[in-house]
Chains A and B, each alone.
Chain A
Amino acid sequence: MNHLMIMPIVIPLLTGAFLLVMYRYNIGRQRSLSIGSTLLLVVFAVWAVLQAGVTDYTLYRLGNWQPPFGIVLVLDRLTAIMLLLTALLSLFCVLYASRGSDREGSHFHALLQFQLMGINGAFLTGDLFNLFVFFEVLLIASYALLLHGGGRARSRAGLHYVIINLAGSALFLLALGILYGIAGTLNMADLAHVIANAPEADLPLLKAASLLLMVVFGIKAALLPLLFWLPRAYSAASAPVAALFAIMTKVGFYAMVRVFLVVFGLDEAAPANDTVLAWLWPMALVTLALGAIGVLGAASLRTLTAYMVIVSVGILLATLSRNDEQLLAASLFYLLHSTCMTAVFFLLADLIGRYRDNGYDRFSIISPLSHRWILGSVFLVAAVSMASLPPFSGFVSKAWILQSSSHLPDYLWLWGAILISGLLIIAALSRAGSGWFWRPEEHTGKTVPALDSARTAAVCVMVTISFLLALFAQPVMDYLAAAAELVYQPSGYVDAVLGDYVRQGGEVTE
């Protein structure tokens, strides 16, 4: 058993706990500890990606209890890719926050580490109840991070965010209760096995549980009727926190992939699953439309970015609901691209806001902006990538999504929604950019603050990721295609986790 696998959970836990105890440390030491821990996470995530490329499933049995009786962590390609994305994103967030955003309140770095622990745990766990526990860990850290620094806007947004997520947790437990009542287990592989062999009479209960789970993950991922907390919360949070939250909606997407395609997907004609995916399709399309309208109507860059998060969720869930292997691979590529780019925009909004005389990142206020040459170039590159124009990763990902959905019967809906939302994003971003950067130079007589090179560098390097993703698209695509193939073979997952337990008909043997 390889103990490296549990490190993405243990490292942030220990660092976070240590930082919490050693809160008298000066901020410089806290920062270096936090950056060191995230760097280690990147190293382990790279190891995880390589390891998952070699062996399809790597297991970690906590306390060496055999599944399905013990808690088990499962690492496959999809998990590894999500771990790497989280680690990279958090590294940039920590670096950006270390330039001063972490001073606004206390315990920023400890909270961030706990948040990472929750996210990594949610990706790694092979057990539905532990998914709930890790969700709670990442949520309670995110509540505190959202409120970090205080202020009226954060309190108001935080109240909505916390209450809707607490209601979601209650629904999650209800769904788990129903599943446990039917199956007598919450291990994902065992659950998949039991659900595939469930009697006809249990079907309505299974459908109820899966729809409840869809509501729960829909809250996390911001699916249509459950998304109204998102724009306010994300635009109220401080920039590095909002950038880190870009991964949080993707945790909801990941949980849906795991639960609906793996746990409920073992029987080919799984009727409970068909119900969920049939519901998901129209709701995802309307989410996409609403996000695009919100992008056009947003009054500040942070709100605009929050709506771009919603657009990306719409695209991801729409592709998921078509239940197609190629399409899932393409949407995983889009997930990597959109998470990075929305994070870039949250950081960029903060950067631009710092060098404007007033108005921060609002569009309606005309105010001189210094360092226009550098900020404008970064904004242009980021906007080109976000609007899915060539040559960046946005173009590659959307072209791949369109290409791999062309054989589906109702592909025109998806094409229309994706292309029109892309057009609206181009319109909104070009309006914002021209309003800010295409103005005659004004001399207000104030001294221009020097450009913060570390913050700018962090944003520039993140934008480069988009370029690199496009440059190395083929190897990344191959990896993601293999990841999607594994997701669509739930029997492999069940075999890998349960091993002999299933073959012996669920009998425990010594």
Chain B
Amino acid sequence: MELVVAITLGVLTSTGVYLMLRARTFSVVLGLTLLSHGVNLFLFSMGRLTTASPAVIGLVENYTDPLPQALVLTAIVISFSMTAFVVVLALKAAVELRSDHVDGEDPNEDRQ
């Protein structure tokens, strides 16, 4: 399980970073989303990976750390709202600047 989680984290983060460096608002937003998914998964796994143990103290002998789950819940709420905001902002910028490049204009446009 550790291997699967580690690979998932690596793939999510690296694709996120790659997409964020693409300098087009759509891919940047997509990259931010993937990165925040990766981060949330990372936070979640910081309470150590266990199976079949609930995050409730007192019910069973082996419980898992409930705090990372609380942290992840907060982080998910925040990252969702931020993603919604950045999507709207990207749309607004694309309409106003008539370009979906993050700088508002494509520096290589003349060469094409």
List the interface of chain A (C-beta within 8 A of B).
129, 133, 136, 140, 143, 147, 151-152, 155-156, 158-160, 162-163, 166-167, 169-170, 173-174, 176-178, 180-181, 184, 186
Interface members, chain B 59-112 (any A CB < 8 Å): 65, 67-68, 71, 74-75, 78-79, 81-82, 85-86, 89-90, 92-93, 96-97, 102-104
CB pair B32–A152 under 8 Å, yes or no, is no
Q: Contacting B89 at CB < 8 Å: which of A159, A167, A173, A178?
A: A159
Known A-B contacts A129-B71, A159-B90, A163-B102; A174 and B42 likewise in contact (beta carbons under 8 Å): yes
Chain A positions within 8 Å of B39 at CB level: 170, 173-174, 177
10 A-B residue pairings within 8 Å (CB atoms): A133-B74, A133-B78, A155-B97, A159-B102, A162-B86, A166-B32, A167-B20, A173-B40, A181-B46, A186-B71
Chain A positions within 8 Å of B67 at CB level: 180
The 5 closest A-B pairs by CB, nearest first: A181-B46, A156-B104, A155-B93, A177-B43, A177-B46
CB pair A177–B42 under 8 Å, yes or no, is yes
Q: How far is the CB of B94 from chain A (nearest CB, A)?
A: 9
Q: Mark B14-43, 1 if CB is under 8 A from A, else 0.
A: 000000100001001000100110011011
CB pair A170–B103 under 8 Å, yes or no, is no
A139: nearest chain-B partner, CB-CB: B82
CB pair A169–B82 under 8 Å, yes or no, is yes
Give Cα A160 to B104, complex, Å.
10
CB pair A156–B93 under 8 Å, yes or no, is yes
- Given A151-B96, A169-B78, A180-B71, 13 more A-B residue pairs with CB atoms under 8 Å apart are A136-B78, A155-B96, A159-B89, A159-B93, A159-B104, A163-B28, A163-B86, A167-B32, A170-B36, A170-B39, A173-B43, A180-B47, A180-B67
Give Cα A432 to B86, complex, Å.
37
Chain B positions within 8 Å of A147 at CB level: 89, 92
Give Cα A181 to B35, complex, Å.
19
CB pair A176–B43 under 8 Å, yes or no, is yes
Chain B positions within 8 Å of A151 at CB level: 96
Q: Contacting A163 at CB < 8 Å: which of B32, B36, B97?
A: B32
List the interface of chain B (C-beta within 8 A of A).
20, 25, 28, 32, 35-36, 39-40, 42-43, 46-47, 65, 67-68, 71, 74-75, 78-79, 81-82, 85-86, 89-90, 92-93, 96-97, 102-104
Q: How far is the CB of A143 from chain B (nearest CB, A)?
A: 7
Known A-B contacts A155-B92, A156-B93, A158-B89; A180 and B32 likewise in contact (beta carbons under 8 Å): no
CB pair B104–A140 under 8 Å, yes or no, is no
Q: Contacting B25 at CB < 8 Å: which of A140, A159, A170, A181?
A: A159
Give Cα A156 to B65, complex, Å.
43
Give Cα A158 to B82, complex, Å.
13
A163: nearest chain-B partner, CB-CB: B28
CB pair A140–B86 under 8 Å, yes or no, is no
CB pair A140–B71 under 8 Å, yes or no, is no
Give Cα A143 to B79, complex, Å.
14
Q: How far is the CB of B8 from chain A (nearest CB, A)?
A: 15
Q: How far is the CB of A111 from chain B (nearest CB, A)?
A: 13
Give Cα A341 to B65, complex, Å.
48
Q: How far is the CB of B23 from chain A (nearest CB, A)?
A: 10
B86: nearest chain-A partner, CB-CB: A162
Chain B positions within 8 Å of A133 at CB level: 74, 78
CB pair B93–A140 under 8 Å, yes or no, is no
Give Cα A167 to B43, complex, Å.
16
B105: nearest chain-A partner, CB-CB: A156
Q: How far is the CB of B101 from chain A (nearest CB, A)?
A: 10
Chain B positions within 8 Å of A177 at CB level: 39, 42-43, 46, 68
Chain B CB within 10 Å — which of A143, A151, A159, A167 has the most?
Answer: A159
CB pair B102–A129 under 8 Å, yes or no, is no
Chain B positions within 8 Å of A156 at CB level: 93, 97, 103-104
B28: nearest chain-A partner, CB-CB: A163
Chain B positions within 8 Å of A140 at CB level: 81-82, 85
Give Cα A136 to B75, complex, Å.
10
Q: How far is the CB of A103 from chain B (nearest CB, A)?
A: 20
Chain B positions within 8 Å of A184 at CB level: 65
Chain B positions within 8 Å of A181 at CB level: 46
CB pair B46–A180 under 8 Å, yes or no, is yes
Q: Contacting A160 at CB < 8 Å: which of B65, B82, B96, B102?
A: B102
Chain A CB within 10 Å — which of B74, B89, B97, B103 has the most?
Answer: B89
CB pair B42–A152 under 8 Å, yes or no, is no
Q: How far is the CB of B74 from chain A (nearest CB, A)?
A: 7
Chain B positions within 8 Å of A160 at CB level: 102
Give Cα A301 to B104, complex, Å.
24
Q: How far is the CB of B38 from chain A (nearest CB, A)?
A: 8
Chain A positions within 8 Å of B78 at CB level: 133, 136, 169
Give Cα A166 to B78, complex, Å.
10
CB pair B74–A129 under 8 Å, yes or no, is yes
CB pair A162–B89 under 8 Å, yes or no, is yes
Q: How far is the CB of A131 from chain B (nearest CB, A)?
A: 12
Chain B positions within 8 Å of A173 at CB level: 39-40, 42-43, 75
